[in-house]
Chain A
Amino acid sequence: MQQMSAVSHTPVNKKRQQVFQRIEPFLYLIPCLFFVALFVYYPFIKTIINSFFFINKEGIAHRFAGFTNYIQLFQDKTFYVAVKNSLLYTLMVVPSSLLLSLILALIANKKSMLNKVSTVAFLIPMAVSVSVAAMIFNLLLNPTIGLFDYVANISIPWFTDSHYALGGLAIFNIWLSIGFNFLFFTAAIRNVPKDVIESADIAGANWIQKTIHIVIPLISPTLFFLFCMAIIGGLMMVSPVLVLTKGGPDLSTTTLVYLMYTQAYQNGNYGYSFALSVVIFVIVGTLLALSFKFENKGVYYG
């Protein structure tokens, strides 16, 4: 309960108070900065430094390599395949999953008898872990013993044909991300002030008009957040590949982080892997920064 009026105006106290005002914001920041520094930046800086060394199979950097790891990376055609796959995949997943979750959130928000049911139902995909979901989908989308192809009377080898594998993963991840996006969209939609909606009703706006001109702008901060998360998640997707397709068939599902992971843990090629992680950081960071350029234009803050 410290207040400006309660402090006496002696020079010492004033000085102390000024110092306190200067450092106060940092007191709020320090916990976050500390953990981020220790568990994210410290390892990452080590990784960056190591990417300029030859790393042996025990993971120890023992000889300076200059840019050799990076050259090896940029000369490897698999790297470019991975970039293409990750971008293509992100393009498939981001608009679809955001649009789908938004529609679901809007529907769940509309007054109906099943509000509570829909809210819980649409959240549930979030509760399933990636490995379990992968097992379920593997069984469901199996071209011979899977239900999906049997019922639809088609024989698309979802995860074993290089043309369909990335699409299969996209379907899988869209399903998985429904819960998370829905959760935050719903919170944001519910938070739109009722009086604004009511005045729109009085002015005679129908549901679609209300949604486009009022709800969406007012939830745009959340929309922007989910958009950024979706981009990052898409570009850095790896777990489903590890469980379902293992990068194949024919490198069609080798994504950037999957390549990084296998080069390190399976091939013992740590130098390549570290160089790749730095490159991934640059690529995704750049795209994120670009997104923030649009923040000023598209996002409306109260």
Chain B
Amino acid sequence: MAKRRITAMILCGLMVFSLAACKNGKEDTSPASPTSNSAPVTLTFWHAMGGVNGKELQKLVDQFNAGVGKKENITVKTVYQGSYADLMPKFKAAEQANNTKILPDLVTIPSDSTGYIKDIKQTVWAKDLFEKDKNLNQKDFLANSITQFSFKDQAVGIPFACSTLLMYYNKTAFKEVGLDPNQPPKTIAELGEDAAKLYKTNGSKVVRYGFELEPGWYQLTSWIGMQSSNGNSYSFIGDNRSGRAGTMTKAVFDKDGTMKKFLEAYVPAMQKSKSKYTGNSDQSDFIAGTNAIYISSSAAINGIATGVGKKFEWGTAFVPKVNADDKGGAAPGGAALYVMNRGNDSAVNASCKFIEYLTDPEVQVDWCKNTGYFPVNNKTYDLADFKQYLSTNPYFGVAVNQIKSSNLDVQEAICGCSSAINTIIDNNIASAIAGKIDIDTAVKNMATDTNKALDDYNRANS
């Protein structure tokens, strides 16, 4: 009896160790050194596209592998690494291991990590790719997105999954309370008034909120960015052009007065309309009809359309302005594609070919239709196919119009501690709305804490 147990355990132990050799059976992408084009190259592509977007990406990759890839002997292997919150730690760990075998050839990195990826030694900057490959031209790419992923006016990443901040509103609910469904609010003040009318209760239970949002770094990028200051029709969150002309060392939204103007519009609007200012159920509440106005990325359009179905009519609109005369527009958001040099030049060349394919105007039409991201290639917007898609898809058309009319300098800041700053902004806005602190105190706190976060970060990284 005991012998059998021991034998079983020993056998198990042996099996465990024999499985150590058991890999997945696929090719290891070690950087080989052939330089001729006919030698096969396998590219590992790490991304964070799941669900429908992931399927679309896989479809495009398969098409590439079967077409151009077959001709040039290039195979692209995608690896879905989860959401960006999972991909980034994984990439950072692989980078720390200092082992090029683990690193991918291509990787998508979200815009808030541009500051990180630009300093990684294996990153091949987009500007170098443009010089290397004459089929890739910077001017073909959407200007807002190229600027988004540039540092000191040099392109670092290739725009890949681009979106903008957008306002979604429930037209049926608007009609119900006597608001014109074709006149969504244009300023934050108007948003407050409309939301106050849309707020509905049943006894003591709230049946519908006019508006729900817990704003932070992402939304403030647009709401600060769109305002005018220092003689420009755009503004920055921090110095050195929000970190694009050099390292960001302190906040400027206090001395520029932009944060104060934002809070003076936003806080009363939220208080008067009794809107919900914490929580992240704003999307599912909008879909359920218990939240009439919702502000988020334009990439959510398809998800909302599926969720809402035929329950009610809805529309999209430009993000409401802080002041009626703001000209900045909204900031682009999303992720870029980066090429990693793992010591194999033919892999870098192969990556360029893959990027050529992905950013081809016609491929971009398909990409846009199925994912809701903007086409990154300017030529796409001239294609008849795409124009027709826009005309039958008004929700998306609004997003395109907004980004095209936005100032190139309204951009997300490049900063390594954006998360910390997000928490600071988030908490202070919530406290101001709750009436715990007044607006001037909120601005002062935000500036002080932001500067401290930046100091700590820069000191640790100097």
Chain A interfacial positions (CB closer than 8 Å to B)? 54-60, 72, 138, 142-145, 153, 155, 157, 159-161, 246-251, 262, 265-272
Contacts and interface: CB of A to CB of B under 8 A. Distances in A.
Interface in B413-462: 416-417, 419-420, 423, 426-427, 430-431, 453, 456-457, 459-461
B205 interface: yes
A249 B430 contact: yes
Interface of B: 85, 88-89, 92, 95-96, 115-116, 119-120, 204-207, 209, 214, 276, 278-281, 284-285, 288, 290-291, 416-417, 419-420, 423, 426-427, 430-431, 453, 456-457, 459-461
A270 B419 contact: no
B204 A155 contact: yes
A269 B417 contact: yes
A262 B417 CA distance: 11
Nearest to A264: B89
A268 B417 contact: yes
A246 B457 CA distance: 22
A266 B456 contact: no
Contact of A58 (B95, B278, B419, B456): B95
A59 B92 contact: yes
A137 to B, nearest CB: 13
B89 A265 contact: yes
Residue picked from B88, B417, B460, most chain A C-beta under 10 Å: B460
Contacts of A145: 281, 284-285, 288, 290
Nearest to A246: B280
Contact of B278 (A56, A59, A248, A271): A248
Nearest to A161: B278
8 contacts: A58-B120, A143-B206, A144-B207, A145-B288, A249-B278, A268-B416, A270-B460, A272-B456
Contact of A269 (B85, B206, B279, B457): B457
B96 A60 contact: yes
Contacts of A60: 96
Nearest to A138: B281
Contacts, number: 90
A144 B416 contact: no
A250 B424 CA distance: 10
A57 B205 contact: no
A160 B456 contact: no
B151 to A, nearest CB: 15
A155 B423 CA distance: 26
Contacts of B430: 249-250
B457 A267 contact: yes
Nearest to B280: A246
B204 to A, nearest CB: 7
A267 B427 CA distance: 16
A78 B284 CA distance: 31
Contacts of A269: 417, 420, 456-457, 460
Given A60-B96, A160-B276, 8 more contacts: A56-B460, A57-B116, A57-B461, A58-B95, A58-B119, A247-B423, A250-B278, A267-B457
Nearest to B116: A57
A55 B96 CA distance: 12
A250 B417 contact: no
A262 B431 CA distance: 22
Contacts of A270: 460
B92 A267 contact: no
B446 to A, nearest CB: 15
Given A155-B204, A267-B420, A144 B96 contact: no
B6 to A, nearest CB: 13
B460 A59 contact: no
Contacts of B89: 265
B423 A265 contact: no
B276 to A, nearest CB: 8
A266 B459 CA distance: 17
A72 B420 CA distance: 15
A266 B453 CA distance: 13
Nearest to A247: B423
B7 to A, nearest CB: 16
A271 B457 CA distance: 10
B415 to A, nearest CB: 10
Nearest to A242: B85
Nearest to A144: B290
Contact of B281 (A57, A142, A272): A142
Nearest to A68: B459
A156 to B, nearest CB: 11
A250 B96 contact: no
A269 B454 CA distance: 11
A287 B199 CA distance: 49
Contact of A266 (B95, B207, B284, B419): B419
A189 to B, nearest CB: 26
A261 B21 CA distance: 33
Given A57-B116, A268-B457, A269-B457, A250 B279 contact: no
